[in-house]
Amino acid sequence: MILGIESSCDDSSVALINSKNLELIYHKKISQELEHSVYGGVVPELAARLHTQALPALLNDIKPYFKQIKAIAVTNEPGLSVSLISGVSMAKSLSIALDVPLIAVNHLVGHIYSLFLNSEISIPIGILLVSGGHTLVLNIDKDGCIEILAQTSDDSFGESFDKVAKMMGLGYPGGAIISHLAQSASDKEKFKFSIPLRGDKRLEYSFSGLKNAARLAIEAQGENLQANKANIAYAFEQTACAHIMDKLKLIFKEQNFKHFGVVGGASANPILRRNISELCKDFDCKLTLAPLEFCSDNALMIARAGREKFLRKETLNHKELDISPKSRNLKL
């Protein structure tokens, strides 16, 4: 079995998979959403403290399997340093106690493997990765080399939902809250935000201007804010998704994708899922979506990514493994 440990942000998660047939043996995640929601975002010091409570409790659950663990895969980059340290320290201690090797897993590569939880990886593939920390369009070639085709120059897609939700006092994380609220919009035409970089050929995302437009609309409401929250959420979500789609269309015209995948916590967004599914039909491209249950951060994708490195014997000892919070190194 391969043990996966994820603690790069505000979710503590542990998973066990069978390294031969990828069977899921155990998976559990303890989310800190409630604790951070009062602050409208993740507070690193609080996240670290909660990881040190949750991770040992999860480990205690899988004690009966300890003897069958052959390697420990842990997220070591990128992420919040204090959060990464929690999982990495626990992984190192366990690797010494059980005398098994460690496997360093890049969190974004983990998200990519959420497309292949029960199957062998299929490449080449194009990827949209949308989360709280990232907005990336990637091309993975037949040799597994990853090229960044587009990224955000400021806020990420998921982060912009979080910030707009915070401005309206709706809690954290904002993605699902905004998306849900948008469905009850009474006047879908009431707010119109301009789509960022529309008509601009640059393959780049930018959400800060849209976030500020939403801020101005929210501030202008005064006493009418309550009545207009759903209408603002609707206009914001439509515009953010239209921006993702504008650039994706340009990329699809350039790249001859035969297979495209959508991953990351924000890939749960239903408008995005629907629009990308139509785009793929238009371009006769196979689409694979991360399962809703495993879009957001989880240790199953880390165990799954770690299993590939295990097969390639890319293992480390406790002295060799370190964290790299700002890593830009993307390699399958």
In terms of Cβ atoms closer than 10 Å to its own Cβ (0-12, 13-18, 19+), residue 34 is exposed
- Does position 87 interact with ligand KG4 (CB under 6 A)? The reply is no
Which tokens hold the place of 158?
């998921």
| Shortest Cβ 266–ligand KG4 spacing (Å) | 3
- Of Zn ion, ligand KG4, none, which one sits near residue 110, judging by CB under 5 to 8 A according to partner kind? none
Q: Which of 32, 131, 135, 315 binds Zn ion (CB under 5 A)?
A: 131
Residue 176 makes contact with ligand KG4 by CB under 6 A:
yes
Number of Cβ within 10 Å of residue 201's Cβ equals 8
Asked whether position 264 contacts ligand KG4 by CB under 6 A, the answer is yes
- Given 6, 77, 237, 297, the residue binding Zn ion (CB under 5 A): 297
Among the listed ranges 28-36, 65-73, 117-125, 168-176, the one in contact with ligand KG4 (CB under 6 A) is: 168-176
Hey, what are 266's tokens?
């924000």
Report the Cα 83 to chain-centroid distance in Å. Answer: 15
Least distance to ligand KG4, CB of residue 79, Å: 8
11 binds Zn ion (CB under 5 A): no
The reply to whether 259 sits in an annotated binding site is no
Please indicate if the annotation marks 134 as binding a ligand. Answer: no
As to burial, measured by CB atoms within 10 angstroms (0-12 exposed, 13-18 middle, 19+ buried), residue 71 is buried
Q: Which is nearer to Zn ion, 77 or 191 (CB)?
A: 77
On whether 110 is known to bind a ligand per the annotation, the reply is no
Contact by Cβ (8 Å): 90, 55: yes
Rounded Cα gap, residues 175 and 171, in angstroms? 10
Which of Zn ion, ligand KG4, none binds 173 (CB below 5-8 Å, type-dependent)? ligand KG4
Q: Are 73 and 2 in contact (CB under 8 A)?
A: yes
Is residue 315 close enough to count as binding Zn ion by CB under 5 A? no
Number of residues binding to ligand KG4, judged by CB under 6 A: 20
Based on its alpha-carbon atoms, the radius of gyration of the chain, rounded to whole angstroms, reads 20
> Dihedral of CA 111/48/83/244: which sign?
positive
Position 159 contacts Zn ion (CB under 5 A): no
Kindly list the distances between the CA atom of residue 79 and the CA atoms of 10, 276, 310, 327, in Å, as whole numbers in the listed order: 10, 27, 22, 9
Applying CB under 6 A, the residues found at the interface with ligand KG4 are: 9, 131-133, 158-159, 161-162, 173-176, 179, 264-266, 268-269, 296-297
**Which residues are annotated as part of the binding site for substrate?**
129-133, 162, 175, 269
**Which residues are annotated as part of the binding site?**
107, 111, 129-133, 162, 175, 269, 297
**Which residues are annotated as part of the binding site for Fe cation?**
107, 111, 297
